[in-house]
Amino acid sequence: MLSTLLMVNLLAACGGNGALPGMAPPVSIEPPIVSPPTSIPPVTTDPIVTPPVVTPPATTPPVTTSPSDTPNLVTSLKIQNLSTAQSNVPVSFGQVFAKGDLPANSSLRAQLNDGTALTIQVDAKATHDDGSLRHAVISANLPQLSANTTETVKLIKNSAAALPAVAATPSALLAAGFTAGINITLNGQTYSASADNLLKSGKYSNWLAGAIVNEWQVSAPLKNAQGVEHPHLTARFAIRSYTGQNKARVDVTLENNWAYEPGPQNFTYDAQVQIGSQTVYSKAGLTHYHHARWRKVFWWGAEPQIHIQHNTAYLIASKAVPNYDQSIVFTAASITPIKAKFTGAVTEPMGSGMAEPYMPATGGRADIGLLPGWAATYLLTMDKDAKQATLGTADLAGSWSMHYRDKNTDRPVSLINFPYMTLLGNPGDTINPVTKKSESFPVCGGVCTNSNVADSAHEPAFSYLPYLVTGDYYHLEELQFWTMYNLFHSNPGYRDNIKGLFHLNQLRAQAWMLRTLADATYITPDSDVLKKQLKTFLDDNLDWYNNAYSYNTNAINSFGTVLDSGAVIYNNGRGIAPWQDDFFTSAVGHTLELGFNKVAPLLAWKAKFPISRMIDPGYCWILGSIYALNVRDSATGNYYTTMKQAYLASSPSTLTSLTCASAEMAANLNLKIGEMVGYSSEGAGFPSNMQPALAYSADSGTSGGANAWQVFVKRSVKPNYATGPQFAIVPR
C-alpha cells in the first residue's frame, strides 16, 4: 500500500519551491507595438506520438462527492482511462479550495476507490487571507488504470503540516536522452531554439518541484545558424518531467510579444517542432501576428490517455466560479455544436477557437458572460469534448495582438513600470513627467494587420477556468496579459495613469474588465510579483466606484445604475442599457464572492436596480429586460428620481396604460402572458443577461431581493440553457 506524502509546506511561500512566479531573468529586448483598429462601439491537428484516444459518450455526469463516507474529505475527482490498461500513469491538475478547508497548519493526502493511499505532490500557489490554501497543482502517479474504467481520487485533509519540497535538476532527464526544440524558416534563413540546450545551461525556473514531478521553464530568442538572435521571436518551453519515468510533457510557445522592441510586425514562416527524433508538428506559411503567441503541447514518451473530471459541485461551492444552475439537463446534442465548431483551421496557431475573432461585433453570442458558454458547459458537465474546446480556445487566446511583454522583467508589461503607455491618444500623452521619456509603444515596422481584433467590451474569460483546473503557467500568463491590456490600452489621462481606472469605458467594458481583473487578482500565485500590483489596481478601481456611488450621498440617481459617459449613450443621451448595467452588477457580485469585501457596498447599491425592475410598484416587470431605459428627459436634463418616471418615459402610453403582465399587455407586445421582453426564449436574450445580476442581488441581502427572484423565476417563457449556460447563474 502506498504511503501518502505531501510535498509542499502550506506555511511556506506559495509557488512550488519559491523559484517561479517571477520566472526566469529577463531575456533579450523589447518589441514595439502597433495600435489595433479602433474598437467599434457596440453594441490542423497536432501529430501525436501516442495511440489514438477512444472517445467516450458525449456527456459524462459531473463528479459529486458524498460528504459522509470519508472523514475530513475535502473534495474528489475522477480520472477516466480512455484506452487500454495503463500503469504508472502520471497526472497533474489544478485544484481550487474553499476558504478554510485547508488551514495553514494542515496538509493534504489522497485515497483511491478501494481505500488505497495515493502518494501526491502538492505545489501550493495561492492562499486565502486567512492563510488557508486557495489554489495548488496536485500531481501523482496512478499505479494502475484498467481499460476504459474510471478511478476516483479523494483529497482528504491531514491535521499535520506538510514537509517542504525538494526540487530536482534536469540531469536525469537529459541523461535519458531527452531532446526538444523548435525551428522556423523565415526569409530563407533557419532560426531555432533547443529546450535541452537551455536546460543544460542551468538557466531555468521551477513551476513544479518535488519528488513526483518537476517542471522547468526556459526561454530564449530564436537564433540563426550564425548565432544571431531574432529581435522579436522568442521560444518558451515548459518541461514537465515525472521522476522515474522516461516521459515528459513538453509545452512549446512561440512569441512575438516584446513591448518595446523597435519595428514590431507580422512574420510569415514555416514552423517545425521536434520532440526526440520526430517532427511532431509542422506548419507551412504560418503568419504570426505582432504581439501574439501560439502554443502546442506534446509528450516525450507515451502520453497518458486520460480525462480528468473535477468535482463540479465543489468548484462552485468554493465560490471560485459562479453558482451555475446544476439542475440543467445536458444531452449529447448540447455538446455536438461545441465539438463541431472546435475543429479545423480555427484550432491552428493564430486561430480563434470557439471565440469571435472580431470582438467588437455586436449581438448575443457564447463569448459574453462571467464565463463563456462553452466553458460553463464544461464546468457543469465535465465533458471531455467541452473541456478540449475550453482549454484549446484558452491556448488560442494568444492569437490577438494585445500581448506586451516587458523585456526587463520578462512578465506582462505593467502600469507600475510604464504608467504612461497606451494604445490610444496623442504621443504627448505618453510622456512620463518623471523620466521625461515617452512610454509610447514603437510604431509598426512592416505589416501589422490581424483579423483577430481585441475589444474589452466583448472580451471572453478565456483563461481563468483553464488555469484553475490545469495549473498551467501559460494560462496564468494569458489571464495576466489580458488584464494588463485592459488597464493600459486607454488614454493615460482617462485611466488616471498608474491607477488603471476603467470607469470611462463603455459600461459593458467596465464589467468585463472588472471580471478579468478580479479573476487575475484572486488566482495569481502569492509569490508572483504581479499579485500585489493586481490587488492595487483592483482596490483603486473599487475605491473609485464606492466614492462615486456607494458612499456618495449626493449620487445623481437613486436607482442603483451607473450613469456616466460610458453608460448614458442611448436614445440621444437620454437612456441607458439595463443589460449592460446587469453585466456590471454580475461582475460586482462575482468579485465579492471571490473574497474582495471592499466591493460589498457597491453590490448593495447596484442590487437596487435589477430588484426594482422586478418589484417596484411603479414599474412593470415584463419590461424589466427592456433594451434601453430612459433615465432623463433630455441629454442635459436632470435624472429621474423614481422608477415610475423611467417606465413611463421609456414606452408608449398605449403600453404603459395597460395592467402589468395582463393578457392585453402580452397582446400589445406580441408575447405570451407572463413573458418578458427581449428574446426570453434565448440563452443570450436580455432576460438571460439580467439573470446573474438578479441572482447576485438576491444573495446580497438587499431588501426585496428574494421576492424579485421569485417573480423572475415564475416568468412563463425561459431559455433552454443546455444550449449555452453562460447566464444560468442562480442565487446560492
- The 10s digit of each residue's pLDDT in 463-490 is 999 999 999 999 999 999 999 999 999 9
Q: Measured between alpha carbons, how far is 366 from 354 in angstroms, rounded to an integer?
A: 8
**CA dist 541 to 214, 371, 546, 553, 568, Å?**
38, 22, 9, 19, 20
Q: Which of 686, 714, 695 is nearest to 586 (CA)?
A: 695
Which pLDDT belongs to residue 162?
84
Strands, E, within 478-586: which ranges? 575-576
Dihedral sign for Cα 332, 334, 338, 340, please.
positive
Stretch 142-163: mean pLDDT? 93
Which range is least confidently modeled, 8-22, 54-68, 113-127, 324-338?
A: 8-22
- The answer to whether 65 and 314 are in contact (CB under 8 A) is yes
Which pLDDT belongs to residue 351?
98
Q: Measured between alpha carbons, how far is 115 from 69 in angstroms, rounded to an integer?
A: 11
Which pLDDT belongs to residue 6?
39
Q: Measured between alpha carbons, how far is 592 from 666 in angstroms, rounded to an integer?
A: 37
Helices (H) and strands (E) in the chain, counts: 18, 21
Q: Is the per-residue pLDDT at 72 higher than 50? A: yes
pLDDT digits (tens, 9 = 90+) for 186-225: 999 999 999 999 999 999 999 999 999 999 999 999 999 9
pTM above 0.75, yes or no: yes
User: Which positions ≥6 away from 607 have C-beta within 8 Å?
Assistant: 560, 585, 696, 697, 700, 702, 705
Which pLDDT belongs to residue 719?
97
Stretch 573-578: mean pLDDT? 96
Stretch 665-684: mean pLDDT? 98
Which pLDDT belongs to residue 10?
36
Q: Measured between alpha carbons, how far is 586 from 614 in angstroms, rounded to an integer?
A: 16
Q: Is the per-residue pLDDT at 518 higher than 60? A: yes
pLDDT digits (tens, 9 = 90+) for 154-170: 999 998 888 888 999 99
Q: Give the CA-trace dihedral at 102, 696, 641, 551, to 10 degrees.
A: 10
Looking at every residue in the chain, the average pLDDT score rounds to: 90
Q: Is the per-residue pLDDT at 135 higher than 50? A: yes
- The answer to whether 84 and 331 are in contact (CB under 8 A) is no
- The answer to whether 42 and 583 are in contact (CB under 8 A) is no
Which pLDDT belongs to residue 556?
66
Which pLDDT belongs to residue 204?
97
- The answer to whether 16 and 165 are in contact (CB under 8 A) is yes
Q: Is the per-residue pLDDT at 56 higher than 50? A: no
pLDDT digits (tens, 9 = 90+) for 626-639: 999 999 999 999 99
Amino acid symbol at 58: A
Q: How many CB atoms lie within 10 A of CB 664?
A: 13
Stretch 131-146: mean pLDDT? 97
Q: Measured between alpha carbons, how far is 667 from 664 in angstroms, rounded to an integer?
A: 5
- The answer to whether 567 and 504 are in contact (CB under 8 A) is no
Q: What percent of the chain has pLDDT over 70?
A: 90
Which three cell numbers, joined as nine digits, stand for 650? 421609456
Q: Measured between alpha carbons, how far is 408 from 316 in angstroms, rounded to an integer?
A: 38
DSSP string, 657-715: TSPTT-HHHHHHHT--TTPPTTTTTSTTSHHHHHHHHHHHHHHTT-TTHHHHHHHHHT-
510: part of which helix (H) or strand (E)?
A: helix 507-523
